[in-house]
Structure 1
């Protein structure tokens, strides 16, 4: 029998989130950090130091599945070998940005990094995005030739100081063909064995499709390192959930095996969706003052329509392609 009666309402959950439905003594807040919101109130209930399933990319929670380890190795390979272009693709929420943030923490001072997210516009506007990411001036009145000259001068100056420049484009699937061609032209600044500039493109699977087109052959030839990050399988999801709980200070894995299996079935093993559903399940368990998350808890989240990620899911085979 489902642990929730049909008469249970979501209003009770909302009151619990606002601290109205559950009596909590001052000592129960001992694990909360100053400034934490009422939405984090379940951390003390489960004996945690922080929320284990936040949707914000956090390298401290990085789980090294086999596929993530291979993807990161390819990222490192691209940087170390000074590959002109490194391409990392994967489904929405697969963990691409988290890997990039981990890489940024490991780079030494001799690497100057410009991070560009959702760049768009004409080629001149793309160059402005690049200069701003490198903390360089980009005068609105400057012509494209002026901007390119400033960019090239910057690269040469950094090279003369023993530095190299890496531009990382997140959500690169949104770049137009014209923009991608412009990025290829940037790599022409490199000469002989001297690599002044490296590009890392991170994006969704369609980026891989774009680069594979016949009219993108010249761009593809500059891609010296690439990897496609797939979703997690059921076994990996179980390890992933346990890992996130452990990092957050849990003394045990309080997600039942059947609960984790249902999470996998619904999310297809996409990390961001796993985080979202697990977080909601923990809120539901907290509202019922339960110390474990069961399959029935996860099912109630789904039945209530609280998991918005479910509306975006396609066939699981598509998620794992």
Structure 2
């Protein structure tokens, strides 16, 4: 049987494709290339250009490739954009997930692994959050993902489909072998923005807010290496196939870094200084959010790239290689 990866031409989905290939499996990719790149998909991987909300197309793919599991990455992910244009997020992230679930049920797909987010937790009043923390999203992005989580659980209860929901914390870094990285134009990921500034591609970068209730006044996040995250998906699917138990799992390291700490890490690794300006807070940004990852670790997740300097090194190497390729 075969795995379908939606959004497999994008940043995280593309790393999941590599993780499958590295262990000798070839997934099928569906992507509309709105943010992903066709060149990110290895030539041996079957690729279908199309919309994840196209139920008819999905049913054709499921039948033609004998799909028994779906890893669903396709989504819009920018918090400030979701606040400015919530309907686009409820369409792309929620309504289209509903269409994908309908196709999965009709096509008798047994397993569903969903790319969710720590944004469902909002601004929790605790040092770390576990999976039992009550969700309270601050943005339409977080709410669109939480609504999808509800649908997935209801589908499992009604039709017997099994699922794993993975709540990502802040994803960063690039493939250690240099095969893939964050390539989305105008990306807002902090580490990517800081590296682009260090390389002179941006004249300066902003720090949004310096009056949060954190040690240095800037937001604190739990940064997880994208390759460690990709392998968490393989582990989740393997466990789902083994015991058939649906789960919701945090994907983070349990350690937080402030914006200023990340900027200093990029300066240190890149060996250069760059201009940083202070800007007002952005709506939808929680002060601090750090994962409790006990449940994922108990399943056998053994992250190997959890040092912030390593994350920055891999991201920097990817950005430099992109210049060489142009």
TM-score class, shorter: 0.3 to 0.5
**TM-score under structure 1 length normalisation:** 0.34
Instruction: Flag the structure with higher strand content.
Output: 2
Larger-gyration structure (1/2): 1
**TM-score under structure 2 length normalisation:** 0.33
